[in-house]
Amino acid sequence: GYPKPIITWKKAIGASPGEYKDFLYEPNVVQYPNGTIHFKKITKESQGHFLCEAKNEIGSGVSKVIFLKVNVAAHFAMKNKQIFIARGKQVHIQCNVQGDTPIDLKWRIQNSQQHLDESIDASAKVNIYGPPFIREMPKITGVSGKDLVIKCPVAGYPIDKIHWERDGQTLPINRRQRAYANGTLIIEQLQRLEDAGTYTCMAQSREKQTARRNVEIQVLVPPKIMPIQAMTNMLREGMRAAISCQILEGDLPVSFRWERNGKPVIGTGNEVIRRLDEYSASLVVEHISSEHSGNYSCIASNVAGTEKFTVPLTVNVPPKWVIEPKDSAAQFIGKRLVHDASPELLYWFSEQTLQPGPTVSLKCVATGNPPPQFQWTLDGFPIPDSSRFLVGQYVTIHDDVISHVNISNVKDEDGGEYSCTAQNSIGK
């Protein structure tokens, strides 16, 4: 409208639409000149029914009612607590969670390899008065080269100390092992030969009562692919290409698959995938052509992980005419037959309307031989000599010439008619 209206927002009093009052802008709420309100940090208190009113000297208008609903993620009122109880008594554990329903709750007893996610988990440690007891631990599996964290599931209270042993030696026995007083054992950069085996957790009370429990640690080894030689400047069109992929280590079974330029190779047409043995596979391409050039990847996987090795393959192809030349005024440049031609504009910018402040880029694309040079003008005069104006050009792989003008921090005086002219020795 005209005169330009003043826009105000109103929020309903209470949970239902009815009576409204002017919306009191909080520090984290901003209203833009066009009337948009932006909540930088939204809370449950932001929820409600809103409407906006536009008013000038001629009259006023009111929008439809808008309901803003704010969903609150589930979160715990208390994250961690401890409970002390005598053996044989009943224990009550309360999970106090807040947030919008429905909320899915799950309970579990933490085992030797489970760890709390502080963002979604809350825990209660139940301390049962009595001698120490260690729950049975299933076989623990780790991956070679990765870190392994084990927690000793000790019950009983009070516990004086917890420690880990292996082959009668108290851990740690090397720099990759860290043992903590709460029964946590960390082994960094697992190694099968050194770390696989039987470990013992021992807990002791103040009265010197003890409990022991063994756990077996198994270390799995992911595939390791032997480096594959790059196949560049080796192959001519019509030859046979064979890429072999072999693993140096890794637990069986191992599966192999192939990709070219990130897309699966399924072994159809003149591409054949062969499984040589348990440890190797090959990709054979019969009668290769330029279409088979690209980056080939062998991907080996087992239960412990996946490894990928990529090699480039290029196919040398002799030159051939795409269009048979006819008599004409032309010249050879390198191995390419090129005709002299005046520039031809392939792309040019269109009219733009901007607010002061942002950066704008204008672009022209032209082709011609010799490659054209560009000249830019503003309202018929050369582009201003200013650090805010950056003019540049480059040649694409298709021999098109792209010229651009980048204007930073656009100002009112930058407006006008911009022109680009492409010119070479033949014309413009």
CA distance 302 to 290: 34
What would the pLDDT profile of 145-196 be if each residue is shown by its tens digit?
Answer: 999 999 999 988 899 999 999 999 999 999 999 999 999 999 999 999 999 9
The DSSP code for 44 is G
Residue 76 lies in a domain: no
Q: Which of 309, 321, 314, 411 is nearest to 360 (CA)?
A: 411
pLDDT of residue 348: 62
Give the chain's mean pLDDT. Answer: 84
Q: How many domains does the chain have?
A: 4
Q: Which of 248, 245, 264 is nearest to 256 (CA)?
A: 245
What would the pLDDT profile of 368-410 be if each residue is shown by its tens digit?
Answer: 767 888 888 888 888 888 888 888 888 888 778 888 888 888 8
pLDDT of residue 16: 81
Please classify residue 390 by burial: count the beta carbons closer than 10 Å to its beta carbon, then call 0-12 exposed, 13-18 middle and 19+ buried.
middle
CA distance 275 to 241: 16
Residue 78 lies in a domain: no
Residue 108 lies in a domain: no
pTM listed for this prediction: 0.54
Lowest mean pLDDT segment, chosen from 113-117, 281-285, 350-354: 113-117
What would the pLDDT profile of 8-50 be if each residue is shown by its tens digit?
Answer: 888 888 878 878 888 876 778 888 888 888 888 888 888 889 8
From 68, 89, 104, give the residue that closes a domain.
Answer: 68
Residue 119 pLDDT greater than 80, yes or no? no
Domain containing residue 26: 6-68
CA distance 246 to 241: 17
Residues 238 and 312 in one domain: yes
Residues 64 and 139 in one domain: no
Structure tokens at 303: 């239960």
pLDDT of residue 346: 65
Cβ(256)–Cβ(300) below 8 Å: yes
Residue 121 lies in a domain: no
Residue 173 lies in a domain: yes
Give percent above pLDDT 90 in the chain.
37
Residue 245 pLDDT greater than 60, yes or no? yes
For 45, phi then psi, to 5°, come to -70, -15
Residue 405 lies in a domain: yes
Residues 183 and 231 in one domain: no
Residue 309 sits in a domain of what CATH number?
2.60.40.10
